[in-house]
Amino acid sequence: MAAKEPSVESGPSSSPMQGAGSEEQEQSAIRQYPDTLPEAAEIDPERQRSAQEYTRLRHRLMLIDLGLAALFLLVLLGTKLSIGLRDALATTGAWQPIAHWAPLHIGLYFCLLLIVYQVLDAPLSYYSGYVLPHRYRLSHQSLASWLADQTKGLVLGLLFELAAVEFLYLLLAVQPTLWWLWAAIALLLVSVVLANLAPVLILPLFYKLTPLNDEELSQRLLALAERANTRVRGVFTMNMSRKTSTANAALMGLGNTRRIVVGDTLLGAYTPDEIEVVLAHELGHHVHHDIWKLIITQAILGLGGLYLVNLGLHWAVETRHFYLALTDVAAMPLIALALGLFGLITMPLGNSFSRLVERQADEYALQTTRQPDAFISAMTRLANQNLAELEPGPIVEFLLYDHPAIGKRLKHAERFKLKSRIAD
């Protein structure tokens, strides 16, 4: 529910659908070196002003979005709407392939509510997802292509969520005491499978991935990997430039699909040294097993959230008699509200952990490449290109940033430079 800071660059990614887009275009994977290499990077004060403005607007929109979601659920719960909808669909509840599990009733109730919410939220999505990035020239995607991406995202989301809701109610029917534990185990398994499939099944719906065919960069990466005693399964480039002017890179996949993915917006505008540092940061995520750490953290948080929902649901049904049974579909908004609130409250925890992991990947990149100047110029370019605020307020950073603020990353590299000079 809560939107995250669009990470400036390079993170291990277990959620491939965020910010994805579509449209296929034949694009050479061979890096086009600019005729003249980019000039030395400096922070652009004008871009910093825009970054502050853009960030402030996005945060306001996020608050409005959260408010709308909360209001929607509270109205459903506080009025007779949720119970009324359950009763209106009651005839579909007769079909129960397993006692107390009425998949048609559950599915219809869920889809109806989701569609109504999406319609209510559409103007806000359009403004924050299309209008704003265009106004700040971060996106040049056509409206048709943006709508196509939105549709794909919504259909995918609907399918995943519908399957999750049906499964949750099945557990509530057959395992009323331990359903939350089984649900958390299933969440862990699904996360692992999705992380594996993401770069081969989901991301290609939005971007075209091509193996990076660049002799010089490949050699540099191989050398880095050799020093780390690890093997890189592949480096791919992604045609982000089709839609956006922002740059990004990430470590993706698990097992046989593990790979480093670099946006073509980064390849064209950065020096080989700068790209090497970015690749080293991603290699750091791989060496530190960060995708696994992320999946396990999410599963532990999920377990806590589901357990609290379990307590709340038993209380609402057994103590207060608000609902007919644990499997009553009318309680679905209560489950959503409780999970949403739990997610919101624990988001800073997850983000703090993510910032720690990112800092370690930065340290790894500095240690292995020993090129703090290239690191500094790469970060500087990213801040300018992606409209990232150097120094966000500490509270905003604590709550919302899953990467350290660029200002901190620059200081980290400066300290590294100083230390290595002293060591020499």
Binding region for Zn ion (CB under 5 A)? 10-11, 358, 361
C-alpha dist (Å) from residue 333 to 50, 237, 329, 340, 341? 38, 41, 9, 10, 12
- For residues 242 and 281, which CB has a smaller minimum distance to Zn ion in the complex? 281
Rounded CA-CA distance 414/419 in Å is: 9
- For residues 10 and 141, which CB has a smaller minimum distance to Zn ion in the complex? 10
Rounded CA-CA distance 334/313 in Å is: 8
- For residues 214 and 358, which CB has a smaller minimum distance to Zn ion in the complex? 358
- Smallest separation, CB 416 to Zn ion (Å): 17
Rounded CA-CA distance 318/363 in Å is: 52
Rounded CA-CA distance 110/161 in Å is: 9
- For residues 103 and 253, which CB has a smaller minimum distance to Zn ion in the complex? 253
Nearest to 268 by CA among 295, 286, 246, 253: 246
- Smallest separation, CB 290 to Zn ion (Å): 8
- Smallest separation, CB 362 to Zn ion (Å): 8
- For residues 220 and 286, which CB has a smaller minimum distance to Zn ion in the complex? 286
Rounded CA-CA distance 262/250 in Å is: 7
- Smallest separation, CB 355 to Zn ion (Å): 10
- Smallest separation, CB 405 to Zn ion (Å): 14
Residue with tokens 């040294």: 273
CB neighbours of 245 closer than 8 A, spacing ≥ 6? Answer: 137, 138, 139, 140, 265, 385
- For residues 11 and 107, which CB has a smaller minimum distance to Zn ion in the complex? 11
CB neighbours of 419 closer than 8 A, spacing ≥ 6? Answer: none
- Smallest separation, CB 285 to Zn ion (Å): 6
| SS3 state at 249 | strand
Instruction: Tell me the two tokens of residue 101.
Output: 């599990």
- For residues 276 and 358, which CB has a smaller minimum distance to Zn ion in the complex? 358
Rounded CA-CA distance 209/95 in Å is: 44
- For residues 328 and 358, which CB has a smaller minimum distance to Zn ion in the complex? 358
- For residues 12 and 21, which CB has a smaller minimum distance to Zn ion in the complex? 12
| SS3 state at 236 | strand
Rounded CA-CA distance 263/160 in Å is: 27
- Smallest separation, CB 389 to Zn ion (Å): 18
Strand-pairing partners, residue 11, are 250
- Smallest separation, CB 276 to Zn ion (Å): 15
Rounded CA-CA distance 297/81 in Å is: 36
- Smallest separation, CB 54 to Zn ion (Å): 22
Rounded CA-CA distance 410/380 in Å is: 8
Rounded CA-CA distance 225/228 in Å is: 5
- For residues 10 and 55, which CB has a smaller minimum distance to Zn ion in the complex? 10
- b/e map of 233-269 (b: 16 or more CB within 10 Å)? eebbbbbbbbbbbbbbbbbbbbeebbbbbbbbbbbeb
- Smallest separation, CB 406 to Zn ion (Å): 13
CB 323 within 8 A of CB 317: yes
- Smallest separation, CB 210 to Zn ion (Å): 22
- For residues 20 and 250, which CB has a smaller minimum distance to Zn ion in the complex? 250
